């Protein structure tokens, strides 16, 4: 099996900026209330003509450009999303068409906000056993603005739209994706849901009237789940990878809620690590939040070859997805990129 790692990053954020003041009155709160409970100041919203595949394709193109690859060189496309363009076909198939990767296999993964790490692990496995190596695109993309009830202050204030992507490929032995942990906790599946629109509760006039197609979340239950499950899972992954906590240089978590992440950080015991955050500017972008934040850190010159980087996703299902990576990508400045 070959060592597989991240070769490049890319992201796409829609142009339209939505501030706390834009949302506060409808949600029955103040802008200050939103910031004090979430650390979010603004978020992006997709244009009316933009679908999840459009955001994903733009991020994918930027990641391919940074890697110096053309679409014909991509072997696999894995899109993590819980807001697909359609129930069928897979959003990844549309992305494949949009970017012109005509020979790439394409598949979606829905593990909600942990989906990017699940997709990363899947693509790593596909490439590791492929004769002759190859390249994969792993994309996280979501447009939550289309499924929010803007009168629900528990959810309407938290989410933004966006996409992030990485190119995976062969890297030096001992670098790249060193280990992953994927865990499902289905007994807690009701903490996060969109109740209607599937086979259990098909779409109907009554489901639309009753708001069954809106995103719903038990925020306190989610916080309790993450606090109970994530620290232990991180500790176990580090042991499996034979990495001392002091040697972790960066943590890139799902950008669920800034205040929640800062509280959680105290319990993770990563004394030398930098917590990478974009939640203030982009809010919670679902499965896109980890690759968007990874791309932001990379473009800012924060990541150096040899750095151990922990990616940590958590979300509906409930699911946890962790990946430990040893970074081997030159900085944008060194590569002559912008």
What pLDDT digit, counting tens, does each position of 80-110 carry?
A: 999 999 999 999 999 999 999 999 999 999 9
Catalytic residue among 110, 250, 254, 319: 254
Residues 248 and 331 in one domain: yes
Q: Say yes or no: 153 and 282 in one domain.
A: no
Helices 115-128, 289-299: crossing angle, 10 deg rounding = 80
Q: Same structural domain for residues 126 and 12?
A: yes
Pairing of strands 192-193, 308-315: unpaired
**pLDDT per residue over 211-240, tens digit each?**
999 999 999 999 999 999 999 999 999 999
Q: How confident is the model at residue 169, as a pLDDT?
A: 96
pLDDT above 80 for 334: no
Q: Residue 214 corresponds to which tokens in the numbers above?
A: 């809106």
Q: Which of 110, 113, 250, 308 is catalytic?
A: 113
Which of 141, 67, 133 lies closest to 98 in space, CA to CA?
141
Instruction: Read off φ and ψ for residue 168, nearest 5 degrees.
Output: -105, 150
Q: Which tokens hold the place of 85?
A: 């363009």
In 3D space, the residue among 6, 12, 9, 327 whose CA is nearest the CA of residue 135 turns out to be 6
- 185 an active-site residue? no
The pTM of the full predicted model, rounded to 2 decimals, is 0.96
Number of domains in the chain: 2
Query: What is the distance between the alpha carbons of residues 260 and 132, in angstroms, rounded to a whole number?
Result: 43
What phi, psi does 125 have (nearest 5°)?
Answer: -65, -40
129, 147, 174: which is the final residue of a domain? 174
Predicted local confidence at residue 1, as pLDDT: 55
81 and 182 part of one domain: no
Closest CA to 258 of 19, 26, 34: 34
Dist. CA 174–CA 72, nearest whole Å: 28
- Check if the beta carbon of residue 104 is closer than 8 Å to that of residue 75: yes
- Can you give the length of the chain in residues? 338
Q: For the chain, what is the mean pLDDT?
A: 95
Partners of 136 in beta bridges? 76, 168
- Checking if the pLDDT of 337 tops 90, the result is no
> Could you list the residue range(s) of the whole structural domain that residue 269 is in?
177-335
pLDDT band at 265 (very low <50, low <70, confident <90, very high): very high
| 326 in the same domain as 231 | yes
Asked if residue 269 and residue 203 are part of one domain, the reply reads: yes
Look up 325 and say whether it is catalytic: no
- 114 burial (CB, 10 Å; 0-12 / 13-18 / 19+) is buried
What is the pLDDT at residue 330?
84
Quick one: CA torsion of 67, 70, 73, 78, rounded to 10 degrees?
A: 70
Give percent of the chain with pLDDT exceeding 70.
97
> Does 168 lie in the same domain as 189?
no
Whether residues 62 and 109 fall in one domain: yes
Tell me what the mean pLDDT of segment 196-211 comes to.
Answer: 96
pLDDT attached to residue 179:
97
The pLDDT-based confidence of 2 (bands split at 50, 70, 90) is confident
Residue the block writes with tokens 């289309």 = 146
**Catalytic pick among 20, 284, 308, 319:** 284
pLDDT band at 174 (very low <50, low <70, confident <90, very high): confident
Q: Are residue 143 and residue 287 in the same domain, yes or no?
A: no
Domain holding 205: CATH number?
3.40.47.10
Say whether both 133 and 237 belong to one domain. Answer: no
Of 174, 202, 223, the domain-final residue: 174
Same domain, 53 and 156: yes
Reply yes or no on whether 113 is catalytic.
yes
Q: State whether 166 and 198 are in the same domain.
A: no
Write out pLDDT tens, residues 122-166: 999 999 888 667 999 999 999 999 999 999 999 999 999 999 999
The strand pairing partners of 161, in sequence order, are 143
Provide the 3-class DSSP secondary structure of residue 76.
strand
Contact yes or no for 160/18 (Cβ under 8 A)? yes
Out of 147, 174, 201, a domain closes at 174
At 54-63, the pLDDT tens digits run 999 999 999 9
**φ, ψ for residue 194, nearest 5 deg:** -120, 100
């Amino acid at each position: 099996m070959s060592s597989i790692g991240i070769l490049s990053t890319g992201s796409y954020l829609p142009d339209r900026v939505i501030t706390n003041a834009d949302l506060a009155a409808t949600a029955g709160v103040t802008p200050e209330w939103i910031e004090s409970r979430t650390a979010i100041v603004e978020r992006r919203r997709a244009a009316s003509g933009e679908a999840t595949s459009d955001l994903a394709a733009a991020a994918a193109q930027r990641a391919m450009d940074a890697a110096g690859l053309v679409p014909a060189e991509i072997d696999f496309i894995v899109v993590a999303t819980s807001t697909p363009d359609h129930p069928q076909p897979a959003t990844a198939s549309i992305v494949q068409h949009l970017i012109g990767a005509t020979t790439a296999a394409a598949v979606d993964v829905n593990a909600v906000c942990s989906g990017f790490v699940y997709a990363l692990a899947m693509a790593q496995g596909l490439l590791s056993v492929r004769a002759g190596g190859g390249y994969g695109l792993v994309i996280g993309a979501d447009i939550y603005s289309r499924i929010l009830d803007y009168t629900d202050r528990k959810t309407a204030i938290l989410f933004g739209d966006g996409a992030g992507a990485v190119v995976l490929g062969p890297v030096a032995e001992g670098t790249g994706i060193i280990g992953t942990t994927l865990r499902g906790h289905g007994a807690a599946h009701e903490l996060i849901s969109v109740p209607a629109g599937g086979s259990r509760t098909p779409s109907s006039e009554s489901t639309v009237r009753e708001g069954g197609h809106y995103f719903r979340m038990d925020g306190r239950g989610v916080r309790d789940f993450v606090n109970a499950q994530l620290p232990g899972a991180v500790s176990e992954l580090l042991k499996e990878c034979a990495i001392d906590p002091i040697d972790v240089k960066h943590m890139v978590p799902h950008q669920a809620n800034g205040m929640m992440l800062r509280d959680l950080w105290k319990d993770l015991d990563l004394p030398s690590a930098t917590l990478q955050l974009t939640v203030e500017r982009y809010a919670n972008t679902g499965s896109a939040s980890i690759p968007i934040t990874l791309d932001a850190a990379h473009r800012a010159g924060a990541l150096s070859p040899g750095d151990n980087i922990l990616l940590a996703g958590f979300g509906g299902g409930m699911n946890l997805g962790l990946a430990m990576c040893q970074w081997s990508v030159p900085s944008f400045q060194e590569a002559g990129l912008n």
